């Protein structure tokens, strides 16, 4: 029984020390060195193969039985296995089947080495998954060449498999993008058609003399405002998705900017007949921000909450600080919270609300192509922050934006 440690590497031996049968030239630069597991119950055979592959630049692990080979391979998967067939306990064929049954070992090439050369045994060796069959006595150079070939073939097969998976994923992504493109086109046509029809109808009404222009002007202005908002959001999303999108981050005192955001939001809330409540701290820590982009994100969140809150409802805006816990230990965050009393978002739709052009269909609020939240997410990410959402149907929805507070 071999008492040496299974991963013991002997000093490289010279060809002469291995005898005439092993007089192989030292490879100039082994292109595909690797880890070879030698499995043989004969100690002399193990030593012979160990010396041969160490001389060729390979790492060698030894095993004297199929059971030991499986144990060694699971602990440290080799690049190839040289497997004797006739061994006490688990023989080479059963060991090959055991390797195939282990997902992590199934792709390792197994080369059988046997003193038998009958055709039936060779056929069985290949049927159970063996990659090669070498008969004893063997030529040293041939064994090294065969192992190198099968290691390279396995590497190429694994690479091809990865590339195929990547191609399939890319094809699936292209299909998704094509579908999204078609959906975007349809939604844009729908969203533009409605206000354009309102403008056309108003002009026709004025032209027919049924109503003076002054009476139609508010309706025309409203329709043109919807068109302008849609075009503006499309441009903002395009910029946010482009490689050129960048922020001018600098330490900012948010007290005045937040007041301006609330002033604009209060006007929107009054028009929607929704109560806007604000809960602000006495002082707001400085954060690194691009104030124009951050203002846009906060107005989008509050405007979205007002949009989905029915008349008589409430939107609550709050700012506070949060101490990091767990993996965030030692970090501090400035937290913006926007909570509405709208219809809520169904659980199956909640994971997709930040996707561009995703619409929440089960509400009575006016629908757009759903660009606002996608823009907000990109702005927050560019600030190295996070955005979180929670919702309950029939109760309302909460969005939280976390921006890192720099160390003082």
**Tens digit of pLDDT per residue, the chain (408 long)?**
444 333 333 333 334 434 444 444 444 434 547 899 999 999 999 999 999 999 999 999 999 999 999 999 999 999 999 999 989 999 999 999 999 999 889 889 999 998 887 888 899 999 999 999 998 888 888 899 999 999 999 889 888 989 999 999 888 888 876 766 666 666 566 667 777 777 887 787 877 877 777 777 887 887 787 777 667 666 665 665 555 556 788 999 999 999 999 999 999 999 899 999 999 999 999 999 989 889 888 988 998 899 899 999 999 999 999 998 888 888 999 999 999 999 999 998 888 888 765 554 444 433 444 567 887 888 898 899 999 999 999 999 999 999 999 987
Check residue 126 and give its pLDDT: 93
Say how far apart CA 99 and CA 124 lie, in whole Å.
Answer: 16
| 374 CB neighbour count, 10 Å cutoff | 22
DSSP 289-334: E-HHHHHHHHHHHHHHHHHHSPTT-EEEEEEEEEE--GGGTT-EEE
Check residue 313 and give its pLDDT: 95
Check residue 181 and give its pLDDT: 65
Cα atoms found within 13 Å of the Cα of residue 81, Cβ hemisphere only: 34
Check residue 161 and give its pLDDT: 87
Q: Look up the pTM and report it.
A: 0.48
Gyration radius from the chain CA atoms: 35
Is the dihedral angle over the CA atoms 295, 259, 287, 281 positive or is it negative? Answer: negative
Cα atoms found within 13 Å of the Cα of residue 336, Cβ hemisphere only: 25
Output the six-digit token pair for 266: 């209060």
Is the dihedral angle over the CA atoms 376, 338, 394, 270 positive or is it negative? Answer: negative
| 365 contact partners, CB below 8 Å, separation of at least 6 | 307, 308, 342
CA dihedral 116, 119, 125, 130 (to 10 degrees): 100
Are 58 and 35 in contact by the 8 Å Cβ rule? The answer is yes
Say how far apart CA 216 and CA 203 lie, in whole Å.
Answer: 8
Say how far apart CA 85 and CA 95 lie, in whole Å.
Answer: 9
Give the CA diameter of the chain.
112
Output the six-digit token pair for 264: 């604009």
Output the six-digit token pair for 197: 């029809």
| 386 contact partners, CB below 8 Å, separation of at least 6 | 380, 401, 402
Tracing tokens 């533009």 back to the chain, one arrives at 192
């Amino acid at each position: 029984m071999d008492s040496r440690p299974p991963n013991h590497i002997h000093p490289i031996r010279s060809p002469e020390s291995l005898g005439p049968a092993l007089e192989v030239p030292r490879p100039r630069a082994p292109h595909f060195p690797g880890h070879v597991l030698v499995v043989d119950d004969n100690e002399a055979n193990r030593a012979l193969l160990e010396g041969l592959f160490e001389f060729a630049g390979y790492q060698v692990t030894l095993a004297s039985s199929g059971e030991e080979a499986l144990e060694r391979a699971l602990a440290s998967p080799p690049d190839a296995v040289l497997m004797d067939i006739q061994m006490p306990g688990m023989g080479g064929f059963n060991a090959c089947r055991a390797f195939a049954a282990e997902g992590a070992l199934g792709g390792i090439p197994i080369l059988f080495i046997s003193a038998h050369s009958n055709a039936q045994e060779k056929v069985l060796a290949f049927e159970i998954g063996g990659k090669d069959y070498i008969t004893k006595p063997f030529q040293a150079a041939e064994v090294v060449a065969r192992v190198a070939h099968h290691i390279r073939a396995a590497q190429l097969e694994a690479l091809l498999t990865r590339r195929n998976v990547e191609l399939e994923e890319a094809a699936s992504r292209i299909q998704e993008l094509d579908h999204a493109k078609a959906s975007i086109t349809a939604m844009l046509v729908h969203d533009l058609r409605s206000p354009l029809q309102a403008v056309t109808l108003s002009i026709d009404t004025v032209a027919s003399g049924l109503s003076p222009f002054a009476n139609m002007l508010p309706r025309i202005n409203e329709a043109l405002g919807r068109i302008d908002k849609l075009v503006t959001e499309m441009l903002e999303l395009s910029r946010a998705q482009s490689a050129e999108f960048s922020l001018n981050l600098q330490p900012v005192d948010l007290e005045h900017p937040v007041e301006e955001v609330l002033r604009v939001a209060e006007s929107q809330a009054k028009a929607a007949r929704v109560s806007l409540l604000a809960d602000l701290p006495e002082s707001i820590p400085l954060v690194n921000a691009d104030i124009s982009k951050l203002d846009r994100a906060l107005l989008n969140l509050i405007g979205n909450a007002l949009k989905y809150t029915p008349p008589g409802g409430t939107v609550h805006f709050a700012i506070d600080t949060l101490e990091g816990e767990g993996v965030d230990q030692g970090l501090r965050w400035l937290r913006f919270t926007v909570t509405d009393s709208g219809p809520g978002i169904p659980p199956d739709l909640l994971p997709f609300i930040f996707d561009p052009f995703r619409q929440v269909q089960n509400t009575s609020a006016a629908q757009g192509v759903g660009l606002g939240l996608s823009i907000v997410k990109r702005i927050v990410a560019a600030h190295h922050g996070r955005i979180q959402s929670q919702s309950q149907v029939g109760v309302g929805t909460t969005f939280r934006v976390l921006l890192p507070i720099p160390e003082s």
